[in-house]
């Protein structure tokens, strides 16, 4: 196989049956004919670290880097960090993970209340979940960061497709503003 860096290397396939190994071997040959094949595929956590340091930080605005780093550290790496980028990360994995993030109290998941001093704990650490769910915009931002990272991954030919681009999210509904009544307006003026 030719690797993305231009060097040649061997790649092995394994399976439980001869047919399974043959199918993997055929797929591997098709990938080799299409272009370079990655022999060592990083995990999502390793790739996000590389991507943030080498692609995002030198090329984008500092606030963009800070936002991407925060979303990566708080959501992507804890949720998908152990998955390998190749065939181990599927559209189904990303879709179910994003759906779970949208329904999970982030105070509980990230241990926000547990890090507070014992006298200031008020919800999850004392057994009362505060239901601090991420907004639809936050979930969309998480997907956008993962999608951007995986787009670079496709460019570097570590994966064949960007699975995050195929994930569906519910539309963001505009919040209805609450206007003051005439009495409230007079009271605040």
Q: What is the pLDDT of residues 118-167, one digit of tens each?
A: 888 888 777 778 888 888 889 999 999 999 999 998 887 777 788 888 88
pTM equals 0.70
For residues 48 and 104, state if they share a domain.
yes
Per-residue pLDDT reduced to its tens digit, 50-81: 999 999 999 999 999 999 999 999 999 999 88
> 15 with 62, same domain?
no
Highest mean pLDDT range out of 9-13, 25-29, 149-153? 149-153
Is 93 domain-assigned?
A: yes
DSSP the chain: -B-TTS-B-------SSHHHHHHHHHHHHHHHHHS---SSPPBHHHHHHHHIIIIIHHHS-HHHHHHHHHHIIIIIHHHHTTSBSSTTS-HHHHHHHHHHHHHS-HHHHHTTTTTS-GGG--SGGGT-----PPPHHHHHHHHHHHHHHHHHHHHTTS-SS-GGGG---PPPPPPPP-PPPHHHHHHH-
Provide the residue range defining the domain that includes 66.
Answer: 41-166
Query: 96 and 118 share a domain?
Result: yes
């Amino acid at each position: 196989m030719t690797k993305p860096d231009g060097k040649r290397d061997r790649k092995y396939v394994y399976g439980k049956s001869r047919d399974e190994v043959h199918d993997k071997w055929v797929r591997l040959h098709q990938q080799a004919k299409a272009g370079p094949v990655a022999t060592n595929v990083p995990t999502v956590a390793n790739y996000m670290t590389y991507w943030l340091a080498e692609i995002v930080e030198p090329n984008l605005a500092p606030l963009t880097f800070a936002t991407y780093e925060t979303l990566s550290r708080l959501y992507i790496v804890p949720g998908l960090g152990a998955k390998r980028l190749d065939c181990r990360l599927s559209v189904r994995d990303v879709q179910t993970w994003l759906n779970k993030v949208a329904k999970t109290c982030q105070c509980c998941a990230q241990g926000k209340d547990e890090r507070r001093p014992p006298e200031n704990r008020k919800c999850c650490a004392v057994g009362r979940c505060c239901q601090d769910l991420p907004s639809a915009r936050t979930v969309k931002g998480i997907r956008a960061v993962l999608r951007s990272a995986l787009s670079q991954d496709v460019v570097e030919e570590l994966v064949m497709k960007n699975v995050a681009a195929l994930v569906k999210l519910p539309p963001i509904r505009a919040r209805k503003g609450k206007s003051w009544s005439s009495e409230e307006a007079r009271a605040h003026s």
